Amino acid sequence: MNNFLTRILLTLAVPLIIGMFTFYFMNSYFGKPLNPKKTQLVRIEVPRNSNFRSLCKTLQKKKIIRHWRVLDLHARFGGDDTKIKAGEYELSASMTPKEILTKLSSGEVYKRSITVKEGANIWEIAVAIQASEIATSKDFLKAVQDKTLLSKAGIKSESFEGYLYPETYNFSKGETVERIIWTMLEQGEKKWLPEFSTRSDELNLTRHEVLTLASIIEKESGNFDEQGIIGSVFHNRMETLVKLQADPTVIYGLRKFGRALTKKDLETPNPYNTYVNYGLPPGPIGNPGESAIKAALYPEDTSFLYFVADGKGRHVFSKTLAEHNEAVHNYRSYLKSQTEQTANAQ
């Protein structure tokens, strides 16, 4: 009888022991991280419509998981292989397969930052996008001038210039340029208050014209506190039918950024040359921020028609041409003295 019970117990115990050993082995191999101490994050890109098994093999190659079949089996048994979302993820060898799958299926992607500075034009934004590796500058510039996309947004212009609100944005690698543009455009919509439309009507200006004027103010001002005065100068010039004569508009029209203008440049006709043409150019020359937009809508009440840099980061404003010529003379004298001081110091 005792022998019989012993045989039964052994018969039951052996599979149990084997099962426990198998469970322990499987849990150690399939359930635990490759290296609990290796917490360094590795950036992995999951392309749209990518093959899950190929992704598993990439993770093995990057030494994030022990073997590609580990994650593949986890996903198959858990039904998670079809839930993986495209994007860029930060993973480490200290994460368990379950944690990796959870992150990949949650869409918790790594975000890259793009800072659009006040006054930045579409070419400068394109450079920032290219540097962030979110998208190519070529694709962005193509989309930002796409007539179909502009029509969809209800913008009658050559590009989205002026409508891309200056701010820091976060996008995942591989984001479509259309989505990038739309996000910046929507932010601009949020910042354009209903009172701005009312004020535009009072000034007899369209929103496009306000943004155009604001972009010029943005480029001409080195200090936020001067923008309201600079805004008044341009409003006064438009009201008295005096040409705006804004250097940044000429630069934009020639697409010759980063160099000083010549007399020939100022005399060369193009739609953006406000030394040749009266009134505002056909569109914005950059993407203005809130302060510049307010300066275009609510300029200070002055009689100034001219301004020139003082050489110290600010401007001198004048009501008459005689006053302006004197200010220009003082500015040139200041620059000359600074040059002489630098030469003597060397």
Q: Please indicate, yes or no, if residue 17 is contained in any of the structural domains.
A: no
Range of the structural domain that residue 152 is part of: 112-191
Q: Parallel, antiparallel, or unpaired for β 42-46 and 168-171?
A: unpaired
Q: What is the mean pLDDT of residues 192-211?
A: 97
Does 14 map to a domain?
A: no
Q: Are residues 238 and 283 in the same domain?
A: yes
**Helix orientation angle between 227-239 and 290-297, rounded to the nearest 10 degrees:** 40
The answer to whether the CB of 199 falls within 8 A of the CB of 277 is no
pLDDT given at position 54 = 84
In this prediction, residue 44 has a pLDDT band, given cuts at 50, 70 and 90, of confident
Provide the mean pLDDT of the chain: 86
246 domain residue, yes or no:
yes
Contacts of 161 (CB under 8 A, 6+ apart): 121, 122, 144, 215, 283, 284, 285, 286, 287
Q: Are residues 134 and 186 in the same domain?
A: yes
123 lies in the same domain as 178: yes
Check residue 4 and give its pLDDT. Answer: 56
- Name residues whose C-beta falls within 8 Å of residue 80's C-beta, 6 or more positions apart in sequence: 74, 101, 104, 105
Q: Residue 289 above 90 pLDDT?
A: yes
Mark 142-169 as b/e (b = at least 16 C-beta within 10 Å).
Answer: ebbebeebbeebebebebbbbbbbbbeb
pLDDT in tens, 155-200: 999 999 999 999 999 998 888 999 999 999 999 999 999 999 999 9
298 and 246 housed in the same domain: yes
What tens digit of pLDDT does each residue of 81-134 get? 557 778 888 888 888 888 888 888 887 888 899 999 999 999 999 999 999 999
- The CATH number for 94's domain is 3.30.1490.480
Residues 235 and 282 in one domain: yes
Q: Is the pLDDT of residue 209 over 90?
A: yes
Residues 32 and 90 in one domain: yes
- Find, among 292, 286, 296, the residue nearest to 253 by Cα: 286
Domain boundary among 51, 81, 106: 106
Number of structural domains found in the chain: 3
How many Å apart are CA 290 and CA 280, to the nearest integer?
Answer: 20
Tell me if 137 sits within 8 A of 127, measured CB to CB: yes
Final residue of a structural domain among 72, 106, 140? 106
**Residue 108, SS3 per DSSP:** coil
Domain assignment present for 3: no
Question: Are 81 and 120 in a shared domain?
Answer: no
The per-residue pLDDT for 60 is 84
In a domain, 126, yes or no: yes
Rank 13-27, 167-181, 277-291 by mean pLDDT and report only the highest: 277-291
pLDDT at residue 342, rounded to an integer: 65
Query: What DSSP string runs through 168-185?
Result: EEEE-TT--HHHHHHHHH
The SS3 assignment for 307 reads strand
Dihedral of CA 253/254/259/263: which sign? negative
Give the residue-averaged pLDDT of 268-296. 96
In degrees, rounded to 5, the angle at the alpha carbon of residue 213 between the alpha carbons of residues 253 and 166 is 85
Confirm if 233 and 227 have CB atoms less than 8 A apart: no
Does 235 share its domain with 270? yes
The token duo for 248 is 């940044």
Buried b (16+ CB within 10 A) or exposed e, 181-204: bbbbbebbeeebeeebeebbeebe
Check whether residue 32 and residue 60 sit in a common domain.
yes
Q: Residue 168 — φ and ψ, nearest 5°?
A: -95, 125
- Extract the tokens encoding 289: 């921020």
Confidence of residue 29 (pLDDT cuts 50, 70, 90): low
Whether the pLDDT of residue 212 is over 60: the answer is yes
Structure tokens at 311: 């050489």
251 or 41, greater pLDDT: 251
| Last residue within a domain, chosen from 269, 286, 304 | 304
Each residue's pLDDT tens digit, 122-164: 999 999 999 999 999 999 999 999 999 999 999 999 999 999 9
Same domain, 98 and 128: no
Judge if 298 and 233 occupy the same domain.
Answer: yes
Q: Does residue 129 sit within a domain?
A: yes
Q: Is residue 268 part of a domain?
A: yes
Q: How many CB atoms lie within 10 A of CB 319?
A: 13
226 and 297 inside one domain: yes
- Three-state secondary structure call for residue 233: helix
Nearest to 286 by CA among 210, 236, 219, 189: 219
Asked whether residue 289 is domain-assigned, the answer is yes
